[in-house]
Amino acid sequence: MPTSGNLQEHGEEAEFTTADGRQVVRRARIVSRDYFNQITHNELTYYVTHPDAREDRFVHRFPMRYLFKFQVEHLLARCGFGIEAVYSDYDKSPYGSKYPGELIFVAKT
């Protein structure tokens, strides 16, 4: 059963300006978590300020399923892949060195 998530917006992304002069800030929040099915229900909110000072707010809602390391290892093995490396970030930080980090696998058949 889903539980309520972190209803506060968060995000470390810097504001950016589009080619046509709009300023955009993106923030995220987890609306709910379904621990049994390993799914988070997320929102990305875009705050847009136009050059004429008009403001818009756009919300993109989506579910996201997450996997634990042992689950990915199992799935890759069942599909005939061998794991060459596991990283915590796209900069190839060792697995477990960053929390929360990404879960990045390098695998081959």
CATH code matching the domain that covers 3-65, chosen among 2.40.10, 2.20.25, 2.30.29, 1.20.1440: 2.20.25
| Cβ 66 vs Cβ 37: under 8 Å | no
Residues of the chain with CATH 2.20.25: 3-65
Residues 50, 16, 30, 66, Cα dihedral to 10°: 140
Q: Tokens 């589009």 belong to which residue?
A: 18
Residue 2 has pLDDT above 70, yes or no: no
How far CA 25 is from CA of 2, 82, 109, in Å, comes to 28, 40, 41
pLDDT digits (tens, 9 = 90+) for 7-56: 677 777 889 999 999 999 999 999 999 999 999 999 999 999 999 999 99
The answer to whether the beta carbons of residues 89 and 98 sit under 8 Å apart is yes
Question: pLDDT category, 101, cuts 50, 70, 90?
Answer: confident
Mean pLDDT over residues 79-91, rounded? 95
Instruction: Label residue 100 by pLDDT band (50, 70, 90).
Output: confident
